[in-house]
Amino acid sequence: MKNIFLTGPPRVGKTTLIKKLVEKLKSELEAKGKQLLGFYTEEIKRGGSREGFKLTTLDGKEGILAHINISSPYRVGKYRVDIDSFEKVVIPILDQALINKEIFVVIDEIGKMELFSSKFREKLGLLLNAPNLLLATLGQISDPLVYQMREREDALIFKVTLQNRDQIGLEITDLIRKLGSERG
């Protein structure tokens, strides 16, 4: 297994789990000469009300994924998706991983908003077939690419619930350590 996917309903803690895994594994992987790159998605709130979503890379760069106050033809509910901002933050990460098989990639998430980007779809397809380890959250959406990802022989899918997320975190940590040591 080289592609590890987390799935589950919204607000179950997938992003929190990703952050904890990154925090736990980052220095360990880097000590072994592995680079950890990727991003996570967080809500943008004002006055307790959600206005959009931002991307934060593991090295601290930020960009807007979607917001209620931007203009875009891409829309999910009340949010307009900012493809240019998304691609500016995410595509360089995927490009780096595609030229360096030692990069461990974290993607939170592969969902409807992110998949509006044809560049992201293309690079993700290449990454799935590259030797890099990948940890990603999969949105619960009907999309041919997401369906193909779920059916891959090299994929392991963890369904996150409120009850099991801590145990899954331990299992994934052990799995990543094992996969990392197998690869040198």
111-122 pLDDT tens trace: 999 999 999 999
DSSP reduced 3-state for 88: helix
Mean local confidence (pLDDT), 76-80:
96
Within-domain flag for 52 = no
DSSP-derived secondary structure letter, 7: E
pLDDT at 99 over 60: yes
Instruction: Tell me the pTM.
Output: 0.93
Q: What is the pLDDT of residue 51?
A: 97
Within-domain flag for 51 = no
Cβ-based neighbours of 155, under 8 Å, separated by 6 or more? 1, 3, 4, 5, 149
* Residue 10: count of CB within 10 angstroms of its CB: 8
Within-domain flag for 50 = no
> Using one digit for the tens of pLDDT, what is the confidence trace for 7-57?
999 889 999 999 999 998 888 888 888 889 999 999 999 998 999 999 999
Within-domain flag for 75 = no
pLDDT tier for residue 94 given thresholds of 50, 70 and 90 = very high
Distance CA 129, CA 176 (A): 18
Q: What is the pLDDT of residue 135?
A: 96
- CB-count exposure of residue 133 (10 Å: 0-12, 13-18, 19+): buried
Cβ-based neighbours of 29, under 8 Å, separated by 6 or more? 35, 36, 104, 176, 180
Q: What is the pLDDT of residue 34?
A: 84
Mean local confidence (pLDDT), 127-141:
93
Q: What is the pLDDT of residue 139?
A: 87
Owning domain of residue 105: 3-40+87-182
Q: What CATH number should be reported for the domain holding residue 123?
A: 3.40.50.300
Cis bond before residue 109 (omega within 30° of 0) = yes
pLDDT at 126 over 90: yes
Distance CA 50, CA 176 (A): 33
Q: What is the pLDDT of residue 1?
A: 61
Split into its structural domains, the chain has a count of 1
Within-domain flag for 176 = yes
Q: What is the pLDDT of residue 133?
A: 93
Within-domain flag for 77 = no
Within-domain flag for 12 = yes
